[in-house]
Amino acid sequence: MNWFFLFFFLSGYCSVLYELIWLRLSMAQFGVTTAMVSIVLSVFMTGLGFGSWASGRWLRQGGDGGPSFRALRLYALIELLIGVSGIVVPYELGWGRGVLERLELRSSLAYYSASGVWVACTLIPWCALMGATIPIGMRAIRQTLPREAGRSFSYLYTANVAGAVLGTALPLLLIELMGFHGTLWVGAACNVAIAVGAIALSRNPRTESPAESMEPPAGLRANATSGGSIVALLFLTGLTSMGMEVVWVREFTPYLGTVVYAFAGILGVYLTATFIGSRVYRRWSSRLGDSMRESPVLWTLLGVAALLPLLLSSPDIQISKTLRGLRVAIGIAPFTGLLGFLTPMLVDRRSGGDPGKAGSAYAVNVLGCILGPLLAGFLLLPYLSERWSLIVLSLPWLIFGLRALRPSSGSTRLEQATAYALVPLAGLLIFSSKGYDEIYPRRQVLRDSTATVIATGNGMHKKLLVNGYGMTMLTPITKMMAHLPLAFLDRPPQNALDICFGMGTTFRSLLSWNLHATAVELVPSVPPMIGYFHKDGPEVLRSPLAQVVIDDGRRYLERTTQQYDLITIDPPPPVEAAGSSMLYSEEFYAAARSRLRPGGILAQWLPTGDAEDFSAVAGALRNSFPYVRVFLSVEGAGMHFLASEHPLPHLTAEDLLRKLPAAATADFTEWDPPPGGAPAVLRAFDTLLQNEVPIETLIAASPATPALRDDRPINEYCALRRLLRYWRETRHE
């Protein structure tokens, strides 16, 4: 059994590794949008569910080929094929992108449909192999260790979840060192190792005897949650847990930030608690055997635990930044730990050690996992707050938990008393908690399937928050992103593209040049907020020169045929934000370069970062454009990069000022104290030009750092180098 634990531990690790990287590669090929994320995750879970159901059905129908069938050898072949997928899938996704480019699909719906079909055809066969491993593994245990077969699902499930916990952390470190493709090779090597081990173990000639195969499994006596209700409960556990995970990300982002490590932390807590719960179930069921019976109060407790994130995500709960992970740990661990106990228990009872029944039962659970994120992301969060979305998802368990209060439930007096105490606690959690948006007395809130957007503040202290995280503020830096590159052009500009709308300040400044301006924004609720930050915002959006496109900026560049005089990019902060590297990479710059007119300029603002970040971005720009100039921002925050295929002239501040139209000069200085106007613009340009930084200086600050590419997102994956730097600094002290 220890060998089986090791096999499924590594298998669980590889599954999460592949899911993480395949999702990221799909986003790079087809767009960083909510729809694409939903497509990939749904396809991944669909493949798992289909593989579990199909393999279980095949085994139940006698597809094992009789007594000579060695399940371990089939399992070894499956793991070997999964290892092949780690190498093949990136190429399949790349081929799909090439096919879609040749189709030249202009409609977003047509593009999403075509890309969704390609992703499904690519991933489902490989994911189905992953889903088939547990039923095949159960049959292998039944053949080699039949007395362990009764609870074999929970055993393999526990091992799988334990490996998945490792899969939430270790790949992040490997990606930093080896990139996405190198990390996939590590996963493939693990699958090959599993295959070799399974082949070696299969050399044991023992198979189940007829007497042993007919022996009823121990410890699986039916009780109040047996029969058809088990299927419904398995569906609900998948539906609510995965739906809640979507809500948790939004609830805890204000405290954890938008970096990949924050998302991994939430998933890590989820899986660690699930593993602990499944281990408790294994010990509990082993000790009680035939007499095991779970208390109905467990379901009442599950309903209350589902509401705990309401309390821990409330702004009224003050926890220091160094301990902010406690919000997640205390908030979601009780619920996921209970699910870790109850889910394998339900499958064990449903299957009784039969791999066919286990495969079908687990497929029902996976079906719930597929529908949960869709329910939360597209039906609940766009119309309800995070609080009420979580309450709706908790309702099934609150209702089912009331079962413990019925006289016929078989509950003891202590259990009934506990249930009576838990019910008012649930009500207290529902009505006493607050959402993070309620800390802002003056606010405007819009919600959609991508994010919750908050506009708040007064005067020059207005802020834009997306999922509770600050995106931007009113600052002349955002005006400089438009006026500086346009003034450097050697001709009057015809049009410009602004990627990342934010408060709309840069977009508004572009229009002051009387040119056609297109803004591309990922979050649908962001552009309508422009009126909160600028009085003329609604008028700006109605201008015949203005166009706002809701899309991923990179995907838009790769699909449009329009040529621009200027492309200006302001990726969402922080510089480590998940997915932001796809707006700093060589592949992105190649797409932007193809959409610039001859002599056009790409303007990139890099807000902050360490030496490695600046070196990686500078290297990517230098590899993509023959001419690049870099200027320290007017407020000393970040740097402005200007890149072009043609030489960028060495102009004076007076030269730049002369190129500004009167409306652009007025826009540039609207926040300056009187008299403002041309003298203020002149000072701003002069300060900027005096603070030019040679691009070689940025690269030389970290010469060993490779240029930023999709495969090596230097800015996002930074934990190891920052830990090493901290260790060096403390050692020198």
Q: How many helices (H) and strands (E) does the chain have?
A: 27, 12
Q: Are 374 and 341 in contact (CB under 8 A)?
A: no
* Centroid of chain to Cα 363: 23
CB 495 within 8 A of CB 517: yes
> Strands 596-606 and 639-644: what pairing?
antiparallel
Tokens of 251: 């609830």
Mode of pairing for the β-strands spanning 627-632 and 692-693: antiparallel
User: How much is the pLDDT for 408?
Assistant: 63
Q: How many CA atoms lie within 13 A of 176 on its CB side?
A: 19
Which tokens belong to 433?
Answer: 């908690």
Say if domain 475-732 classifies as CATH 3.40.50.150. yes
H or E element at residue 81? helix 71-103
The torsion angles phi and psi of 666, rounded to 5 degrees, stand at: -65, -40
pLDDT value at residue 493: 95
Q: How far is CA 483 from CA 105, 420, 487, 496, in A?
A: 34, 66, 6, 11
Query: What pLDDT, on the 0 to 100 scale, is given for residue 224?
Result: 38
Which helix (H) or strand (E) is 335 found in, with range?
helix 325-351
**Phi, psi angle pair for 634, to nearest 5°:** -60, -30
Where along the chain do its domains lie?
Answer: 1-155+162-207, 227-436, 475-732
From 1.10.490, 1.20.1250, 3.30.70, 3.60.21, which CATH number describes the 227-436 domain?
1.20.1250
> Do 29 and 107 contact (CB within 8 A), yes or no?
no
Walk across the sheet containing 516-521 and list its strands.
Answer: 546-550, 516-521, 495-499, 564-569, 596-606, 639-644, 627-632, 692-693
* Residue located via tokens 């009387």: 514
Task: Give me the amino acid identity at 105.
Answer: L
d(Cα 307, Cα 412) in Å, to the nearest integer? 25
Alpha helices in 628-706 (DSSP H): 653-659, 662-668, 677-690, 695-700
pLDDT tens readout for residues 173-184: 999 999 999 999
Global model pTM greater than 0.75: yes
655: tokens are 């030269």
Low-confidence ranges of the chain (pLDDT < 50): 66-68, 208-226, 290-291
pLDDT of residue 64: 54
If you ran DSSP here, which 8-state letter would residue 573 be given? Answer: S
Domains 1-155+162-207 and 475-732 are alike in CATH topology: no
Amino acid identity for residue 678 in this structure? A
CA distance 303 to 335: 8
pLDDT reported for residue 218: 43
CB 344 within 8 A of CB 281: yes
Homologous superfamily of the 1-155+162-207 domain (CATH) = MFS general substrate transporter like domains (1.20.1250.20)
Instruction: Identify the pLDDT of residue 409.
Output: 60
Determine the pLDDT at residue 80: 96
